[in-house]
Amino acid sequence: MLSNLRICAVGHQTISSVHINNICCYKVRASLKRLKPHVPLGRNYSSLPGLIGNDIKSLHSIINPPIAKIRNIGIMAHIDAGKTTTTERILYYSGYTRSLGDVDDGDTVTDFMAQERERGITIQSAAVTFDWKGYRVNLIDTPGHVDFTLEVERCLRVLDGAVAIFDASVGVEAQTLTVWRQADKHNIPRICFLNKMDKTGASFKYAVESIREKLKAKPLLLQLPIGEAKTFKGVVDVVTKEKLLWNSNSNDGKDFERKPLLEMSDPELLKETTEARNALIEQVADLDDEFADLVLEEFSENFDLLPAEKLQTAIHRVTLAQTAVPVLCGSALKNKGIQPLLDAVTVYLPSPEERNYEFLERISRLLLPFADQHVEIPSLTAGNIALTVGLKHTATGDTIVSSKSSALAAARRAEREGEKKHRQNNEAERVLLAGVEIPEPVFFCTIEPPSVSKQPDLEHALKCLQREDPSLKVRLDPDSGQTVLCGMGELHIEIIHDRIKREYGLETYLGPLQVAYRETILNSVRATDTLDRTLGDKRHLVTVEVEARPIETSSVTPVIEYAESISEGLLKVSKEAIESGIHSACLQGPLLGSPVQDVAITLYSLTVHPGTSTTMISACVSRCVQKALKKADKQVLEPLMNLEVTVARDYLSPVLADLAQRRGNIQEIQTRQDNKVVIGFVPLADIMGYSTVLRTLTSGSATFALELSTYQAMNSQDQNTLLNRRSGLT
Ligand SMILES: Nc1nc2c(ncn2[C@@H]2O[C@H](COP(=O)(O)OP(=O)(O)OP(=O)(O)O)[C@@H](O)[C@H]2O)c(=O)[nH]1
């Protein structure tokens, strides 16, 4: 029985993708050329290209692994930490691909969009399924660039666990903090992988410290690196006291040597590992009472006698409770440390069962993704990924249920659980499916089809893209009649433009990129208005009096109040019309036509002639509110961004000088290895096109992250310049 589906990404051409229970289902269109045949040849499968009958697993093992052996995990990190490279290694070692893909060569499986391959970045999440030592792992590689935050969020809400990847030479970076917070919100157990241990400047200690300090997490060091940067050779498994060494002559890292540490051959390393293991045991005992009892009763005299499996089970519980995070390390590029990372995923991250979802599922037509091919399957157990086709009215972030009664039952149960929430470890949150938070778009630009006859095609393309990506907003400019795209950043809009061309065959024209300003009022004002219109033999007559006043909310949704004199009876029939009128008036402020923020509207009087339609009431209220807003003293608000620039010491001065010219407000300059990290605020209007400027200023050695902080009042000089520019005076 189908009781709960989560829709994750829909709308691209004919395939819609759904979440079944806690599982994410995405379109996967990776190239099949390097896929190893893991699909049984049969009635439905013979059409898959490149599949041979010999090296295949049984249908049962492919479609229905026991739920305890399923891991649904995401990979998350700051841009360029190495998610895609790590995923490629994982696919290779698990036998899913035959050769190693490389982001720098543009031939990875998960970065399958043309733009991803060209730019070497991940934009859309991709899902792949593979088996590792008897476990089924459904893995999602998510984008790291801030413009695609929503894509990360919609993945996280359905995962059972995640691997957070860090660049070991920089530790925690700006976007890591964002995705970490998102994972906290969705209660996702995590393990950390300190990647790039081979890189100059890599520091295990520094990266661990940054996890402790910046993420406020308790790192459990399950490994120690053997060597660092150029000398990085392998890792020590602290839990088992073994050393794992990769052969430096091997070009794919498939084979490695695992040996117990011995007093004779490695006295120093053994001593260091024993100390690390003892510290780990104490740390876990502090966090887990059951383990503490075991250690105290049986092993307090000698921690060496504590079996590795007992320690692993306790670490699993602590990871699940999210009171600490296991930390591992390696180098994806140099093919070291990936196999133990996979082991850790199966040992420490939870199965769907442990995450306490209790639905069973059934839908009419199910497809299983095998890269860009889909195999129809009759049924699927909870905890798996599948696709369904043809959902027309469902968009990313929606939850669908089989019937109204099952939805009500889920809501009732959530309510009951909510009452015991504090006792039951957020049971209600586990049952209810979290919505996605859609960030505010800060940029917009007009978009034109190649000819008027192509306008319907453009509208169709934008509709599909919006269903997939709710952070893209599309609206019609009421003055010019033009279509306006609103997005998260320059790159976001550029990619949308590119996708319209490649996927929908439409060559569109973008207007100049503009900042999404807001407006507010500075004093209280009252206005009255009357609308008197006769349509046919019917007279519509409304008189309204409203007050608009400034309040502090940081929201574009106006607060609506009613004076006591407004009759209950009148409100009953016309409340909806009144509020829709107020909302529509506040969408377009009198200064720039931007949304009005921080206002309260009070309705003081309303008289309505009998027979007046609600549309006329709405129109009159809207006009009256606009009149009031126009009368008030007004203020433009501009988006202020949090900026973090990481730059080599030598280039710090030109970067600071440039930021000073951009109205930048520097809060702090940190030292990170050989780099300086500049943290501050800068108005969005002054930071457009910054990536090109920064590249030129620093010979390509700097990176930056940008995120909306707040909307702030513009000073009067800047505001006048902007208003004059908009009205064409300058
Ligand atoms: N030295 C070193 N470089 C690495 C390692 N892993 C990845 N890289 C390099 O780092 C860059 C970024 O790697 P990706 O795998 O694309 O990183 P990503 O996190 O997927 O990036 P986005 O998808 O854009 O968020 C590439 O040039 C990789 O070759 C590593 O272990 N060591």
pLDDT along the chain (730 residues), means of 10: 32 28 29 29 29 34 70 84 87 77 57 51 58 85 54 65 93 81 82 96 94 93 95 96 88 88 93 95 90 83 90 96 96 95 96 65 63 73 71 62 62 56 43 56 86 89 85 79 84 90 91 88 96 80 95 86 86 87 91 91 92 87 95 94 90 94 92 87 88 86 83 91 78
Give me the pLDDT at residue 78, please. 80
Q: CATH number, domain at 255? A: 3.40.50.300
Q: Is 533 within a domain?
A: yes
User: Is 85 a pocket residue for ligand 1 (Cβ < 6 Å)?
Assistant: yes
Residue 226 main-chain phi, psi, to 5 deg:
-100, 105
CB 317 within 8 A of CB 290: yes
Number of domains in the chain: 5
Consult the annotation and say whether 84 binds a ligand.
yes
ipTM value for the complex: 0.97
Residues 200 and 237 placed together within one structural domain of the fold:
yes
Which of 333, 336, 691 best tests ligand 1's pocket when mutated (most atoms within 8 Å of CB)?
A: 333
Pairwise CA distance, residues 470 & 157, whole Å: 15
Q: Is 438 within a domain?
A: no
Which of 80, 92, 178, 194 best tests ligand 1's pocket when mutated (most atoms within 8 Å of CB)?
A: 80
Residues 301 and 245 placed together within one structural domain of the fold:
yes
User: Is 171 a pocket residue for ligand 1 (Cβ < 6 Å)?
Assistant: no
Q: Whose CA is nearest to atom 12 of ligand 1?
A: 80
Give me the pLDDT at residue 411, please. 61
Give the distance from CA 378 to its chain's centroid. 32
Pairwise CA distance, residues 673 & 719, whole Å: 41
CB 682 within 8 A of CB 638: no
Pairwise CA distance, residues 392 & 582, whole Å: 31
Residues 171 and 117 placed together within one structural domain of the fold:
yes
Residues 606 and 461 placed together within one structural domain of the fold:
no
What's the DSSP call for residue 651?
G
The token duo for 279 is 């510290």
User: Is 77 a pocket residue for ligand 1 (Cβ < 6 Å)?
Assistant: yes
Give me the pLDDT at residue 64, please. 64
Residues 369 and 506 placed together within one structural domain of the fold:
no
Q: CATH number, domain at 650? A: 3.30.70.240
Residues 397 and 472 placed together within one structural domain of the fold:
no
Q: CATH number, domain at 501? A: 3.30.70.870
Domain end among 325, 348, 371: 348
Give me the pLDDT at residue 690, please. 86
- Domain, as residue range, for 623: 519-632
Residues 387 and 488 placed together within one structural domain of the fold:
no
Structure pTM?
0.56
Residue whose C-alpha is closest to residue 383's, from 160, 130, 91, 151: 160
Give the sign of the dihedral formed by CA 18, CA 23, CA 24, CA 25.
negative
User: Is 80 a pocket residue for ligand 1 (Cβ < 6 Å)?
Assistant: yes
Atom nearest to 85 CA in ligand 1: 15
Give me the pLDDT at residue 407, please. 62
Q: Is 6 within a domain?
A: no
Give me the pLDDT at residue 471, please. 82
Domain end among 564, 597, 632: 632
Residues 607 and 658 placed together within one structural domain of the fold:
no
Consult the annotation and say whether 201 binds a ligand.
no
Residues 400 and 498 placed together within one structural domain of the fold:
no
Residues 692 and 713 placed together within one structural domain of the fold:
yes
Give the distance from CA 61 to its chain's centroid. 31
User: Is 143 a pocket residue for ligand 1 (Cβ < 6 Å)?
Assistant: yes
Consult the annotation and say whether 83 binds a ligand.
yes
Residues 102 and 199 placed together within one structural domain of the fold:
yes
Give me the pLDDT at residue 332, please. 94
Consult the annotation and say whether 55 binds a ligand.
no
Q: Is 86 within a domain?
A: yes
Domain end among 583, 617, 632: 632
Q: Whose CA is nearest to atom 32 of ligand 1?
A: 196
